[in-house]
C-alpha cells in the first residue's frame, strides 16, 4: 500500500545530513511510523476531527509502546502503524491525556525497531539543530531550529505553560518526532501555525508538545488509567481579541450550549475575576474544582452585561469508549 504522505516529502535542502548529527540517522528515523486511525461515524469527535485520521507515531520501547499526539487516536476503533519497510501492524490505544495532548498505543505485533530515548527539551542549546521527522525516512525529515519556547493556549480549552515552536514547518506534522542533536525525542508535533515577521511576511511553523511532560504520566497511560485529574469542561471555543476572551462557538449539547452562550459573547469575568486572555481564563476555570462544578461567568453581549452560571462537565464522558474484544 502506498504511503499517505507521498507528495508531502520535505524539500531536499531542508533534509538532515549525517555531518550535522552525531548518530545513525537512518536507524533513528526508522523509529518514526506512519499512523492511520479509523473513528466511528457517531463518535463525539468525528465531526470536528474526522473519521479517517493520518499522522505519525514514535517507538518508545522494544516491547511496542508507541507515542503520538492524542487527537489522532481519540475514540479510534482501528489504528494501523506502517513501518519504513512497508509492514502494516495494528495497534491498541492505551490512553489519551487531554492535559498534555499525548496519546499512547501498544503495537499488537513485534515491531523489531529501535526505540527513541525520551530527552528533555529544556536542555536544548540555543543554536542546537533539531530534526522534525515523520514516518517515511529521510525524505520525510526536516532539519530546523526551535524558534521559541513559551505558553500556548488552544481555542478548544487546552493550555501548555511551555510549548516548542519550530521552523521550518513540517509538511505532515501531526505526531511527528522532534529529535535533538543526540538523537533523543524532545517533542511531539501538534499543530501548524503561522508567524508574522517584522517585515510583514508570513512564515509557517509547528508547535510541539515537550517530551519531558510524558515521563510523569507514562505509567498511568500505559496501564489505561487516567493520567491527570479530569478538569471542568464548558464545551466552548474561544479566542483572544484585543485583550478579551471572545466566544467563537459552542459544542452541541455541551454545558455552554445549554446555557445559551453565543458566538461573539465576551467573557469579562470568571468567578468574579477579570480575564483578558485564554491562559488566565482556563487556569481560573480549572481551579474551581472537578467536573460538575458550577462556573459563574460575567458576559458582555452587545451593550448588555449579565451573569450566568454553567454546570461544567467531564469532556471524557462524551467520548466513545473503545470496545474490548
Domain extents for the chain? 12-115+218-222, 121-212, 232-318
8 Å CB contact between 168 and 144: yes
Residue 184 above 50 pLDDT? yes
For 16, the grid coordinates are 538532515
Asked if omega into 39 is within 30° of 0 (cis), the reply is no
How much of the chain, in percent, has pLDDT values that exceed 90? 90
Least confident of 5-9, 105-109, 111-115, 229-233: 5-9
pLDDT of residue 325: 45
Runs of H (alpha helix) within the chain: 25-29, 46-49, 215-222, 255-258, 278-286
134-183 pLDDT, tens digit each: 999 999 999 999 999 999 999 999 999 999 999 999 999 999 999 999 99
Its pTM surpasses 0.85: yes
Mean pLDDT, rounded, of the chain: 95
Alpha-carbon span 276 to 280, nearest angstrom = 7
Q: How far is the C-alpha of 247 from the C-alpha of 239, rounded, in Å?
A: 7
Mean pLDDT of 120-147: 96
- Mean pLDDT of the 96-106 span: 97
* Res 83: pLDDT: 96
> Would you say the CATH fold of 232-318 matches that of 121-212?
no
**How far is 205 from 146, CA to CA, in rounded Å?**
10
CATH level 3 topology of 232-318 = Pdz3 Domain (2.30.42)
Report the top-level CATH class of 12-115+218-222. Answer: mainly beta
Decide if pLDDT at 324 tops 60. Answer: no
Distance in angstroms (rounded) separating the CA atoms of residues 282 and 227 = 19
Among 189-198, 221-230, 293-302, name the most confident range: 293-302
Burial class (CB in 10 A: 0-12, 13-18, 19+), 69: buried
**Residues 195-254: tens digit of each pLDDT:** 877 777 888 999 999 999 999 999 999 998 988 999 999 999 999 999 999 999 999 899
pLDDT at position 322: 65
**Mean pLDDT confidence for 35-40:** 98
- The arithmetic mean of pLDDT across residues 293-320, rounded, is 96
| pLDDT value, residue 164 | 98
| CA-to-CA separations, 5 to 39, 116, 170, 178, 196, in angstroms, rounded | 20, 22, 12, 18, 28
Distance (Å, rounded) from C-alpha 185 to C-alpha 101?
Answer: 16
pLDDT, residue 180, reads 97
- What percent of the chain is predicted at pLDDT more than 70? 98
pLDDT level of residue 1 (50, 70, 90 thresholds): low
Spatial CB neighbours of 125, under 8 Å, sequence gap ≥ 6: none
Look up residue 311 and give its three cell numbers: 454546570
**pLDDT tens-place string over residues 260-290:** 999 999 999 999 999 999 999 999 999 999 9
Q: Does domain 121-212 have CATH number 3.40.30.10?
A: no
pLDDT class for 19, splitting at 50, 70, 90?
confident
Amino acid at each position: 500500500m502506498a504511503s499517505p504522505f507521498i507528495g508531502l516529502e520535505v524539500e531536499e535542502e531542508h533534509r538532515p545530513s549525517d555531518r550535522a548529527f552525531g548518530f545513525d540517522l537512518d536507524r533513528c528515523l526508522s523509529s518514526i511510523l506512519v499512523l492511520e486511525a479509523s473513528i466511528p461515524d457517531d463518535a463525539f469527535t468525528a465531526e470536528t476531527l474526522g473519521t479517517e485520521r493520518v499522522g505519525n507515531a514514535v517507538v518508545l520501547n522494544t516491547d511496542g509502546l508507541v507515542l503520538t499526539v492524542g487527537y489522532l487516536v481519540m475514540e479510534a476503533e482501528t489504528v494501523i502503524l506502517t513501518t519504513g519497510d512497508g509492514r502494516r501492524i495494528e495497534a491498541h490505544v492505551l490512553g489519551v491525556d487531554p492535559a498534555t495532548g499525548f496519546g499512547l498505543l501498544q503495537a499488537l505485533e513485534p515491531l523489531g525497531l529501535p526505540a527513541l530515548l525520551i530527552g528533555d527539551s529544556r536542555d536544548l542549546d540555543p543554536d542546537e539543530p533539531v530534526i522534525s521527522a515523520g514516518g517515511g525516512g529521510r525524505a520525510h525529515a526536516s532539519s530546523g531550529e526551535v524558534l521559541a519556547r513559551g505558553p500556548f493556549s488552544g481555542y478548544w480549552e487546552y493550555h501548555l505553560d511551555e510549548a516548542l515552536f519550530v521552523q521550518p514547518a513540517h509538511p505532515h506534522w501531526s505526531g511527528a518526532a522532534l529529535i535533538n542533536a543526540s538523537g533523543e525525542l524532545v517533542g511531539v508535533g501538534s499543530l501548524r501555525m503561522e508567524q508574522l515577521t517584522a517585515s510583514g511576511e508570513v512564515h509557517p511553523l509547528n508547535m510541539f508538545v515537550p517530551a519531558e511532560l510524558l515521563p510523569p504520566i507514562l505509567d498511568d497511560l500505559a496501564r489505561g488509567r487516567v493520567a491527570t485529574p479530569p478538569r471542568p469542561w464548558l464545551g466552548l471555543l474561544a479566542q483572544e481579541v484585543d485583550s478579551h476572551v471572545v466566544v467563537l462557538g459552542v459544542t452541541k449539547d455541551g454545558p455552554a450550549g445549554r446555557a445559551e452562550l453565543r458566538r461573539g459573547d465576551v467573557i469579562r469575568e470568571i468567578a468574579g475575576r477579570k480575564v483578558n486572555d485564554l491562559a488566565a481564563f482556563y487556569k481560573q476555570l480549572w481551579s474551581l474544582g472537578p467536573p460538575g462544578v458550577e462556573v459563574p461567568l460575567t458576559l458582555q453581549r452587545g451593550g448588555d452585561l449579565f451573569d450566568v452560571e454553567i454546570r461544567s462537565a467531564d469532556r471524557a464522558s462524551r467520548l466513545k469508549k473503545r470496545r474490548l474484544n
